[in-house]
Amino acid sequence: MSKTVLITGTSSGYGLAIAQHFLTQGWNVAATMRKPSATAFAKSDRLKVFPLDVTDTASIDETIAQAKDHFGGIDALINNAGIGLASAFEATPDETIRELFDTNTFGVFATCRAIIPLMRKQGGGTIVNVTSSAAIAPTYPLVSVYVASKCAIEGFTESVANELLPFNIRAKLVEPGLAPTTRFGANAATRMDGLIPHDYQDYAQRYFQKMAHYPTDYCKETEVAAAAFEAASDGSNRLRYPAGADSELLASLRWPTSEEAYLTRMRELFVP
C-alpha cells in the first residue's frame, strides 16, 4: 500500500513542490492550505486537498482526523507552512513578532503535538520540519525575528527527536536556502512596511545590494522537495538536510570551522 504524507502550506512555493514530488514517488498526499484549491495539482486519486490553519488547533485536529480516515493513516508530516519578515528589530511591533511566531513556531508545535499520538499508536512515522538556511547561519542582518522563529524549531526538533525514538517516530529538519522564485518575499512585503526606519535605510540598501550578488546559486523548489522526500523516506536517524547550494555552503562553514573563522567568513559574504 502507498504511504501517506500530510504537508502544510502547499498553495505555492516549497509546499507545492514537495506535494508534487511525493505524488511522483507514489505516495498519497494530504495537501493542506488555509484556503483550499486543487487547481495547482494534476488530478490524482492519491491527492486530497484539505483546509488547515496551523494557528488554529481545532483546524489541525479536524484535518488530521479527516486525512487519516481518507487514507487510512499518516506516515509522514511535513511542516512547511511559514511566513517571512525583514525588519529592524527595534521597529518591529509585538503583534508582528507574535504573528510570525504563531505560524513559524507555535504552528509547528501544534501540528507535532496533534500528530504524535496518532503515529505512536500506529507504530511509527516521520515528522519533517522545514526551517531555513538562516537557522544554520543566523548572521543575516534585518531578519532577527524570522531567524528566532526558525532557530526555535531547530532546537525543538533536535530535542524532540530523541524523546520520540522509543516510539519509532523520527523528527528531522530540512533547511532550504534563498529562493527568489517563490512568493515568500512578496507575501512578506506588506508585513514589513515601515519596519526599516530612516536611520537604517543606508545600511539596508547596502545589505540588499550585497544580497543581489549572491555567493552561490539560489535554492530551487525542486531541491527542497527532494530533501523533504529523502528526510521522510530514508529511514535513518539523520537530523539535518540542507537544501540548495547556499545551505550546503553555510553548513560547511558553520560546523567544521571555529566560531571566529565562521563569523569572519559570514560577515564577508553577507554583512555590508
Rounded Cα distance between 25 and 128, Å, is 17
Per-residue pLDDT, 169: 98
Q: Residue 190's pLDDT band (boundaries 50, 70, 90)? A: confident
Per-residue pLDDT, 93: 96
Which of the residues 14, 140, 146, 241 is marked catalytic? 146
Span 162-177, pLDDT tens digits = 999 999 999 999 999 9
Among residues 158, 83, 168, the alpha carbon closest in space to that of 124 is found at 168
Q: Is 218 a catalytic site residue?
A: no
Enumerate the domain spans of the chain: 4-201+218-246
DSSP-assigned letters across all residues of 118-172? HHHHHT-EEEEEE--HHHH-TT-TT-HHHHHHHHHHHHHHHHHHHHHGGGTEEEE
**CATH 3.40.50.980 given to domain 4-201+218-246:** no
Per-residue pLDDT, 33: 96
Span 233-254, pLDDT tens digits = 999 999 999 999 999 999 999 8
